[in-house]
Structure 1
Amino acid sequence: MDGYIDTVVTEKILSKWLGISLPSLQRLRSNGNGPRFVRLSERRIGYRRKDVELWLEARTCDRIDAGPAQNELERQQRQSGE
């Protein structure tokens, strides 16, 4: 390792930062639609900053009627000049 330590935040802090309720974040985690998480102990969950950023990037849309996958495809096409 190069000495880099990624920040881990609690689900309470992450829910506030994202502007969603704690139960909503827990629901996203439970159904597999939320960011990757770390099980810190039997009853404690944490989220790595880089995983949250990747999750947000994957959900970033350029227009309302397109899903994240369609927007990513369009973004890649623009970058390659198609």
Structure 2
Amino acid sequence: MSNVIELLERMGQDASLQTQQSFEKAILESELTSELKQSLINRDDISLKRELDVCPDVVCIFLPAEDEKPNEDSDEDEKTDNTN
């Protein structure tokens, strides 16, 4: 997987790889599997994600904390304070 990451990084940094011909040449000269090469050449991000076994979505859920039950000791303290 590091080979494809390195290639993608190189493509992002090297402006000369922006033409279709140089883009395809860089992919074909790489040591990637034929499936990965085909996914990159076709710019098929779905099959690329499948080949790399990437989990694209991360879902998080936040639940509000439950209310604390009143403490009996604090109720007694309040009653004592009110009687004074």
TMscore range, shorter length: under 0.3
TM-score by length of 1: 0.25
Pick the structure with more helix per residue. Answer: 2
Larger radius of gyration: 2
Pick the structure with more strand per residue. Answer: 1
